[in-house]
């Protein structure tokens, strides 16, 4: 199963079945267990919820906080008991968000959001420093995401793929 991980999560969460749009995910033992436990349609909704919640490639990731994304999933898409499926979140972080830069960005953003929401002594200066770090990791994460999307769309064997042109 090497090199079968998804480079891009495809599909429309309102229309597509997660596993039909991203067939390689279906073959992981964790996903086989989820499908066996709740059925493919419900498992698809659960995976779309985790896509919205923790994947920086989702439309909502930069537009809402994690709490807003969670409430959006529950209200608009599926009333998911997230704590019950913590193991699915761990699977998603481990097997789908495989790039270190993406993971660091996700973790740093989560820490930043929690600090702003919970810490009454969180200073503007500290927030600015954390925001700068977030911007750096966001750039690294999205560079990896864009590279993965290019590879997925064009294939690895395209001549000149991701090659640098010589400067004269």
- Based on the fold, state whether residues 1 and 84 are members of the same structural domain: yes
pLDDT digits (tens, 9 = 90+) for 92-106: 887 887 655 666 666
15 has a pLDDT exceeding 90: no
21 has a pLDDT exceeding 80: yes
- Based on the fold, state whether residues 9 and 81 are members of the same structural domain: yes
139 has a pLDDT exceeding 60: yes
pLDDT at res. 40: 93
Domain with 55, as residue range(s), is 1-97
- Based on the fold, state whether residues 93 and 103 are members of the same structural domain: no
Any domain includes 72: yes
Q: Which residue stretches of 65-164 are H helix?
A: 66-72, 86-91, 100-118, 124-154
Any domain includes 162: no
- Based on the fold, state whether residues 24 and 9 are members of the same structural domain: yes
Top-confidence residue, 157 or 27: 27
pTM of the shown model: 0.59
pLDDT digits (tens, 9 = 90+) for 118-138: 666 656 566 667 767 777 767
- Based on the fold, state whether residues 84 and 105 are members of the same structural domain: no
What CA–CA distances, in Å, run from 154 to 7, 11, 12, 85, 148?
12, 18, 21, 35, 10
> What's the chain's length in residues?
168
Range from 6-15, 30-39, 59-68, 107-116 that averages highest in pLDDT: 30-39
Any domain includes 54: yes
- Based on the fold, state whether residues 80 and 136 are members of the same structural domain: no
pLDDT digits (tens, 9 = 90+) for 49-58: 988 888 887 8
Instruction: Share the mean pLDDT of the chain.
Output: 75
Top-confidence residue, 168 or 85: 85
Query: How far is it, in rounded angstroms, from Cα 157 to Cα 145?
Result: 19
How many domains does the chain contain in total?
2
- Based on the fold, state whether residues 12 and 34 are members of the same structural domain: yes
């Amino acid at each position: 199963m090497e090199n079968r991980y998804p480079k891009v999560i495809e599909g429309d969460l309102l229309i597509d079945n997660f596993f039909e749009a991203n067939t390689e995910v279906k073959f992981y033992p964790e996903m086989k267990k989820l499908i066996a436990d709740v059925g493919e349609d419900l498992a698809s909704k659960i995976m779309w919820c985790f896509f919205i919640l923790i994947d920086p490639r989702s439309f909502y990731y930069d537009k809402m906080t994690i709490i807003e994304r969670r409430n959006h999933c529950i209200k608009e898409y599926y009333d998911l008991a997230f704590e019950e499926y913590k193991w699915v979140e761990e699977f998603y972080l481990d097997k789908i968000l495989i790039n270190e830069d993406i993971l660091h960005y996700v973790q740093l953003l989560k820490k930043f959001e929690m600090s702003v929401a919970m810490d009454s002594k969180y200073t503007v200066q500290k927030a600015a420093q954390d925001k700068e770090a977030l911007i750096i990791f966001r750039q690294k994460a999205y560079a990896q995401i864009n590279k993965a999307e290019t590879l997925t769309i064009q294939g690895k064997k395209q001549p000149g793929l991701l090659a640098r042109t010589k400067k004269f």
